[in-house]
Every structure is written in C-alpha cells, then in structure tokens.
C-alpha cells in the first residue's frame, strides 16, 4: 500500500510502498477513505511533540471502512491501559501509557491502517468521508475545550482554524456569543467567523467590545495567554486547546486575580467522542474542507503552516493527483 512516512524531525514526509498492515486480535483493518490534517502533525514534524519510534505514518483524523463495509472514525487517542487511576476515573485522556494514533501507532496518511476496535467510533454512511474527518480531532478536542468553558455566554476563540470553525457552529447553536480572534489582518478568517455566526471578529491584539466569560486558545502562541486573560471577566476561564504552545510571557498576577482560571485540555476521552459525534449531525456541524491526494500530503501540511486555506485540509487517498 501507498503511505506517507515520517522519518526524522524537520524532513518532509516520505512517500513509500509498504506491505498492507495485518489486523491482530481486537483490531480492525480499515481502508482509509479520508484523513484530516491537524496542527499537531506540524508539531510532530517539527519535533515539538516527540515521535518515539520512527518511521511512523502520521494522521489521526481517520475515516475508513472495515472489510465488512462498516465505517469507522479513528481519533488521536488510540489505546489506553484501562487500569490506572486515570483510566478508572473517566480520565483516560491522561493515561500515562496512552498511545496516540499517528504518533505512537501508525495513522491514516496511507491507503490502509490497523486500529484498535475499542477506540474506533462507528460513523454514519450518509455523510461524505472528507466532511467527517475533521470532526475526529478538530471537532472533538474543540468540543472538549468548549465543555471546559462551562456555561460561558460570551466566548472568545483565539486562532480561527479547523477547530474554531467547527466549534463556533456548536457554540452558536447553544446560544452563546462567539468573539473570534485571528492573526491581525486575516480578513478571510474574520469574514469566515462572521459567516458562521460570530458576533465580533478582529485581530488577537484587539480588546473585544464586551468582557468575555471564557476564551479558548487554539493557536499555538503563548503570547495569547495574557491577552485572553485580560479579555475575560472575573471568574472566567481561559482554555488552551493545543498540544504545544510557544513560551507564555510573564504577566501580572492582576490578570489571574478575580478567580480567573487558566487550564489546558489534553487529548480526548471516548466519551467526548461519542457525545460530540452524536451532537454534530443534529446541529448540523458543517466542515469546510480542502482536499488533497495522499501524494500531496506535504503540500497540505505546507498550506496549513502558511494559512493558505480556511477550515480543514483532508487527505483523500483515492483522489487522483492534480496535473
Ligand atoms: Zn489533532
Ligand atoms: Zn491508563
């Protein structure tokens, strides 16, 4: 089968032909229909999140078909121990032995992949594979971040990429007011946010017209933390949704005072997945996608890095290469 392999930090993914993987006990062999590209893939390639045992096939927003035709979605969380204090208390996202798809386990930038059936979500047949793929990380981790904001009415979102795109739709559906913060001058992302129902969109250095109740930071930029804390009301929460962030600059305690909270969201639990995948079609959450073939995976990653599209990049292995 054709696959894109990570071999070393800082190097483009390598197109390779490999033997098709073989499913073991408790595993499923999936033919990949689509696999979303995530900012975490850039962090892996850049060495900001370590891959212990290369070569590795990246890709952790997989939509695939089993041999019997059933469709499954595979998220970042690929395996947990099931026995530790985290696994036995509804916090399997924190399991110290957890294995992550497209990082510790081969992922979906390939024609086929093998997954643990306990960590694969059944998906409906009546939606497009490329439309479903971004739900599996951008949507799901975005949803976990949104849950950590409690019942915040005025919600700030810093970094208007794939996760913000999907989670704005959920927040608006829940009757919240969304304030979208983008790179200064990113008119495309700001108009995208307004189209999705944001009541305000502006540059991340700007102060919003109203005090926020909570904010989610999806951009991997530590300098946004004090800005977001300054924008929220006493008692509000700032949630950092990314797996990696540049250093957070020192800030005055005044910004945290007033019972403001600062927290991260790490990974996901299967319960998050089940809840979100049930909720998404009822809204419905609509993905905005840019499609690439498997051989164009490096191009998709470069476009993500450069901010060349709004919404999500999705690899569709069946897509013929553009001339
Ligand atoms: Zn991801
Ligand atoms: Zn565990």
The ligand that comes nearest to the alpha carbon of residue 44 is: 1
Q: Which residues pair with 274 in a beta bridge?
A: none
Q: What protein residues have CB closer than 5 angstroms to ion ligand 1? A: 38, 40, 137
pLDDT at 318: 84
Neighbouring CB atoms inside 10 A of 100's CB total 20
Domain 2-136+288-315 indexed as CATH 3.40.50.2300: no
Q: Where in the chain is the domain with CATH 3.90.180.10?
A: 2-136+288-315
The ligand that comes nearest to the alpha carbon of residue 98 is: 2
Span from the CA of 167 to the centroid of ligand 1 (angstroms): 14
Token digits of residue 47: 């060495």
pTM, 2 dp: 0.95
pLDDT, tens only, 310-321: 999 999 998 765
Smallest CA-to-CA distance from 27 within 141, 91, 85, 114 is with 114
Span from the CA of 206 to the centroid of ligand 2 (angstroms): 42
pLDDT at 322: 53
pLDDT at 319: 76
Span from the CA of 42 to the centroid of ligand 2 (angstroms): 26
Span from the CA of 73 to the centroid of ligand 2 (angstroms): 22
pLDDT, tens only, 31-47: 999 999 999 999 999 99
Q: What protein residues have CB closer than 5 angstroms to ion ligand 2? A: 80-81, 84, 87, 95
Per the CB < 8 A criterion, the answer to whether 322 and 299 are in contact is no
Token digits of residue 194: 């307004």
Residue ranges for the chain with pLDDT beneath 70: 320-323
Span from the CA of 163 to the centroid of ligand 1 (angstroms): 9
The architecture that CATH gives domain 139-264 is 3-Layer(aba) Sandwich (3.40)
The ligand that comes nearest to the alpha carbon of residue 101 is: 1
The H-assigned helical ranges of 148-223 are 162-173, 187-195
pLDDT at 323: 45
Task: Report the Cα–Cα distance between both ends of the chain, in Å, rounded.
Answer: 22
Span from the CA of 86 to the centroid of ligand 2 (angstroms): 6
Q: Where in the chain is the domain with CATH 3.40.50.720?
A: 139-264
The ligand that comes nearest to the alpha carbon of residue 38 is: 1
């Amino acid at each position: 089968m054709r696959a894109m392999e990570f071999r070393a930090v800082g190097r483009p993914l390598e197109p390779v032909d490999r033997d098709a993987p073989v499913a073991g006990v408790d595993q499923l062999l999936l033919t990949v229909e689509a696999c979303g590209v995530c900012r975490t893939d850039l962090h892996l390639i850049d060495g900001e999140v370590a891959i212990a045992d290369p070569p590795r096939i990246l890709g952790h927003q997989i939509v695939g078909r089993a041999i019997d035709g059933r469709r499954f979605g595979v998220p970042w969380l690929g395996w947990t121990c099931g026995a530790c204090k985290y696994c036995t208390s509804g916090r399997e996202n924190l399991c110290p032995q957890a294995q992550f798809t497209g990082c510790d386990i081969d992922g979906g930038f390939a024609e086929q992949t093998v997954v643990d059936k306990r960590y694969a979500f059944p998906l409906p047949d009546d939606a497009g594979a490329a439309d479903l793929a971004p739900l599996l990380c951008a949507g799901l981790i975005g949803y976990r971040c949104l849950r950590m904001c409690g019942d915040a009415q005025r919600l700030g979102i810093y970094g208007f990429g794939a996760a913000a795109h999907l989670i704005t739709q959920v927040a608006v559906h829940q009757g919240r007011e969304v304030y979208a913060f983008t790179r200064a001058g990113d008119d495309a992302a700001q108009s995208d946010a307004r189209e999705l129902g944001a009541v305000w969109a502006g540059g991340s250095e700007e102060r919003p017209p109203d005090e926020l109740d909570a904010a989610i930071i999806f951009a991997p930029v530590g300098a946004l933390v004090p800005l977001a804390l300054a924008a929220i009301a006493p008692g509000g929460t700032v949630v950092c949704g990314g797996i990696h962030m540049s250093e957070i600059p020192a800030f005055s305690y005044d910004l945290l005072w007033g019972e403001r909270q600062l927290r991260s969201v790490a990974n996901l639990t299967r319960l998050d997945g089940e809840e979100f995948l049930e909720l998404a079609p009822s809204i419905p959450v609509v993905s905005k996608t840019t499609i690439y073939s498997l051989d164009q995976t490096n191009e998709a990653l470069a476009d993500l890095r450069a901010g060349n599209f709004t919404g999500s990049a999705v690899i569709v292995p069946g897509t013929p290469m553009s001339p």
